[in-house]
């Protein structure tokens, strides 16, 4: 098997990886051993170096090589969950059940001043429940949101289609919620969920807030916002109208030269050379120190 130079340069005995990573992370050797074992190619179904960055150099995995730049390109939590989905599917399912609650708790913690963030709120069947309400009393804005967490898809077109459907389901759900609320404009006020009548708001926004995987909304009246961007914009702007403006104008998207840099890097094995476009932090490649 031909291996690129960047793998060969970072090959170490399995136990040396465990000792070094345990020392750098402060985790116990036993826990680090399990983490290295479960993120080694061949341990579970191979996805890519984002999820399984260790490549075995020997038949019995006694020597492992690390592809250092790949793990840095992914969300660490998403990597863990994708690894769980192959190593321990039952644990993965139990973990995903708590994700929307975690998303909501983090956003609710950003309640400040006259911006009230709350949820969930039950609606009569068959309408879905409202996951999150953001009420800005000063700006006169109400955001009614459906939260969706769908882990990042792998390279399979079938899996990407499945993850797309998970997010797009939120568009259908928020459409049902909107139909009910507009038909029953006093419903939220009468139950103390909001502080004023629906007609009293300057703007009512119905949206889906999706984490880890985004698709384009098929309905212009129901945008799909990035969860991380939504969280960051709430922190950055006290005025919720500025939050919605930034999200709608895609001002939150990373900018080359500011948020990241791109470099073409080449690797050669014997007579075969490959050059690929690699994304790095804005200051360039991070030093690899073991």
Could you write out the DSSP letters of every residue in 192-223?
Answer: TSSSS-GGG-SEEEEEEEEES-----S-TTS-
pLDDT at 226: 93
DSSP 191: T
pLDDT at 260: 84
Which tens digits make up the pLDDT trace of 155-173? 678 778 888 898 999 999 9
pLDDT at 2: 43
Instruction: Find the mean pLDDT for residues 26-39.
Output: 88
Cα–Cα distances (Å) from 131 to 77, 177, 228, 272, in that order, read: 22, 10, 16, 53
Residue 233 in this model has a pLDDT that exceeds 90: yes
pLDDT at 158: 79
pLDDT at 46: 56
User: Please, what are the domains in the chain?
Assistant: 5-89 (no CATH), 98-248 (3.40.91)
pLDDT at 61: 74
Residue 178 in this model has a pLDDT that exceeds 90: yes
Q: With bands split at pLDDT 50, 70 and 90, how would you rate the model's confidence at 97?
A: low
pLDDT at 6: 44
Which tens digits make up the pLDDT trace of 120-159? 999 999 999 999 999 999 999 999 999 998 877 766 787 7
Instruction: Find the mean pLDDT for residues 255-279.
Output: 81
At 159 the three-state DSSP class reads helix
């Amino acid at each position: 098997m031909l291996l690129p130079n960047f793998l060969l340069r970072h090959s170490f005995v399995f136990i040396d990886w465990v000792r070094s990573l345990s020392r750098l992370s402060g985790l116990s050797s036993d826990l680090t051993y399990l983490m290295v074992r479960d993120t080694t190619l061949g341990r579970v179904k191979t996805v890519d170096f984002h999820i399984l960055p260790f490549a075995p150099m020997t038949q019995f995995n006694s020597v492992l090589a690390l592809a250092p730049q790949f793990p840095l390109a992914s969300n660490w939590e998403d990597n863990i969950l994708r690894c769980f989905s192959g190593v321990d599917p039952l644990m993965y399912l139990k973990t995903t059940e708590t994700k929307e609650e975690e998303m909501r708790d983090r956003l609710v913690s950003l309640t400040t001043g006259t911006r009230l963030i709350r949820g969930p709120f039950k609606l009569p069947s068959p309408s879905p429940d409202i996951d999150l309400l953001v009420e800005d009393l000063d700006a006169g804005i109400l955001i009614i949101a459906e939260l969706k967490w769908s882990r990042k898809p792998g390279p399979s077109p079938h899996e990407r289609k499945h993850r797309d459907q998970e997010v797009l389901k939120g568009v259908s759900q928020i459409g049902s919620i909107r139909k009910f609320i507009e038909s029953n404009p006093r419903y939220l006020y009468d139950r103390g969920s909001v502080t004023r009548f629906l007609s009293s708001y300057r703007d009512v926004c119905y949206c889906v807030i999706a984490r880890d995987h985004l698709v384009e909304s098929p309905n212009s009246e129901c945008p799909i916002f990035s969860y991380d961007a939504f969280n960051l914009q709430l922190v950055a702007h006290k005025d919720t109208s500025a939050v919605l403006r930034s999200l709608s104008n895609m001002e939150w998207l990373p900018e080359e030269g500011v948020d990241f840099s791109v470099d073409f890097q080449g690797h050669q094995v014997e007579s075969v050379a490959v050059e690929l476009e690699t994304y790095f932090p804005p200051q360039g490649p991070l030093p690899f120190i073991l």
